[in-house]
Amino acid sequence: MKLATIRRGDRDGRTTATATATATVAATTTAVRVEGDFLVDLGLPDVGAVLAAPGGLAAAESADGARYPAATAEFAPLVPRPGKVVCVGLNYQKHIKEMGRDLPEHPTLFSKFADTLIGARDDIRRPAETGQFDWEAELAVVIGRTVRRADEAEAEAAIAGFTVLNDITCRDWQFRTREWLQGKNWDLTTPVGPYLVTTDEAGGPRPALDISCTVNGRLMQRDNTGDLLFDPVDLVRYISTMIRLNPGDIIATGTPGGVGHARKPPVFLNPGDTVITEIEGLGRLENHVIPDGPR
């Protein structure tokens, strides 16, 4: 099953390629189930609400409502206001080894705020304050049930499915200190979506899917999620040991090699660039970079 969150009627102030940067009106979003060329309205405001509702995914599978053409859908962030977005660094084995580093014993974790999230086709706002704006294609885990101190079976059962995320990063801010938070949390920079693909359709709770990122048609990243050092089940177990994971929470599992700052010479994103992030079977993010100056 595939679910999404789409916008209906007025926009929500997030700028897309066809909207003006001054759009500020309130959004109306709704959760939908993908049925061929149509999207079936599930009667709830977003995918996070679907997962938190009684019955969760099972109820979503049988729900019926208005139908919208998929071709003209405008995707909001898959979960617009997740309780938490936990991100993982240094998690592709080939990438770690090619950088000459030892494989870490534990996951490297940091947080991302909901205000960073944008939809699958929204514009990425490049801050005026950075000169090193970079891409990071990632598999994202979406949590479907509350879990704490999960064992392996509980961790598997807690994964509702997967989506696509690009952890756009201001490298010059990221490396100002040893903590990465300030490089990862810029307003309206992180596309996520377009779909939640349930584990049964994604290849199980440990999917091995091709992942790629292109910038202006140039392939920058290509790998397979089967190379993750700490896979989705491992991450749910580890993170839930310290904090409760709730329906709609997101775990970004890390990026493979090919990011801009590691290239020689480095390559960074500028206004006018187009970033396409794709994971086999999960969907595609296509985002244009626009300037976001000081206000």
Banded pLDDT at 23 (limits 50, 70, 90)? very low
pLDDT digits 0-9 by tens, 64-110: 999 999 999 999 999 999 999 999 998 998 878 766 788 899 999 99
Banded pLDDT at 13 (limits 50, 70, 90)? very low
Dist. CA 167–CA 148, nearest whole Å: 26
The pLDDT of residue 295 is: 58
Q: Does the model's pTM come out above 0.85? A: yes
Our separate counts of H helices and E strands in the chain read: 8, 18
Higher pLDDT, 11 or 131: 131
Provide mean pLDDT across the span 271-289: 98
Dist. CA 180–CA 185, nearest whole Å: 9
The pLDDT of residue 294 is: 63
Domains of the chain: 79-292 (3.90.850.10)
The pLDDT of residue 97 is: 79
- 231 closest CA partner among 219, 239, 220: 239
Q: Six-digit token pair at 275?
A: 């970033």
pLDDT more than 90, % of the chain: 86
The pLDDT of residue 125 is: 97
- 290 closest CA partner among 10, 23, 25, 20: 20
20: Cβ contacts below 8 Å, ≥ 6 apart = none
The pLDDT of residue 36 is: 95
Where residue 262 falls (left for φ over 0; alpha for ψ -120 to 50; beta otherwise) is alpha
Banded pLDDT at 259 (limits 50, 70, 90)? very high
Q: Are 212 and 278 in contact (CB under 8 A)?
A: yes
DSSP letter at 114 equals G
pLDDT digits 0-9 by tens, 218-246: 999 999 999 999 999 999 999 999 999 99
Where residue 214 falls (left for φ over 0; alpha for ψ -120 to 50; beta otherwise) is beta
Q: Are 174 and 180 in contact (CB under 8 A)?
A: yes
The pLDDT of residue 95 is: 78
Provide mean pLDDT across the span 155-173: 98
The pLDDT of residue 14 is: 42
Neighbouring-strand partners of residue 105: none
Higher pLDDT, 294 or 191: 191
The pLDDT of residue 7 is: 96
Dist. CA 157–CA 172, nearest whole Å: 39
